[in-house]
Amino acid sequence: MALWTEVTRSIAPLRPRPPAETKPVEENPAARQPAKPAARPNPPPPRAKPPRPPKPPALAPLDRRTLSRVNRGAWAIDARIDLHGMTQAAAHSRLIDFLFGTQASGAKLVLVITGKGRNGGEGEGTRGVLRRLVPIWLASAELRAVVVGFDEAGRAHGGAGAFYVRLRRAHHPVR
């Protein structure tokens, strides 16, 4: 211990020590009152977040029973549209107009004919452009207010070159 004390006396500090503070001696410690916390200004009210737009309803693919009824002819197809030979832009525009129009007229099930593409749709690289894009368009948020679900059509209605599309009920405003 004596050695350590001798070593610490011979070492100069890297930083000078701050001067020691002297505390005033209080005469009566009981008279001292606890310091009141400084009053903080009221924080601004939290910003009201704008409401999020409602999520579009989820798609529900056509169940096996519905598909069976449509294929047997027990459930009628209310309308059909043929998109053969159209450009992507024209087909997309016509499909949107068709779906909103048929929904407004009360249709429940429509047939969208796209065609199979080259080689009858055999192989991934040969599928038609519209055959590939129509399911993407039908699943888009833009059409969720109209489309409940869709599935590939049965042979009698075009098979792989067409889709059954089930529509939501149109909401009519109350007058």
Each residue of 20-60: pLDDT tens digit? 666 665 666 555 666 666 666 777 777 778 877 666 666 77
56 domain residue, yes or no: no
Count structural domains, the chain: 1
Read off the CATH number of the domain in which 94 is found: 3.30.1370.110
Q: What is the pLDDT of residues 153-164, one digit of tens each?
A: 877 777 778 888
Side chain identity at 170, as an amino acid letter? A
- Structure confidence at residue 96 (pLDDT): 93
Decide if 84 contacts 113 (C-beta within 8 A). yes
Domain range for 99 is 77-167
Answer whether residue 83 is part of any domain. yes
In a domain, 145, yes or no: yes
With respect to residue 35, please indicate whether it lies within any of the assigned structural domains: no
CB 138 within 8 A of CB 150: yes
Q: Please identify which residue in the block is written with the tokens 């009628």.
A: 76
In sequence order, which residues have a C-beta less than 8 Å from that of residue 33 and are 6 or more positions away?
none
pLDDT value at residue 81: 92
In a domain, 20, yes or no: no
Report the candidate in 161, 110, 165 with the shortest Cα–Cα distance to residue 137: 165
In a domain, 123, yes or no: yes
Q: In terms of Cα–Cα distance, which of 97, 109, 96, 95 is closest to 62?
A: 109
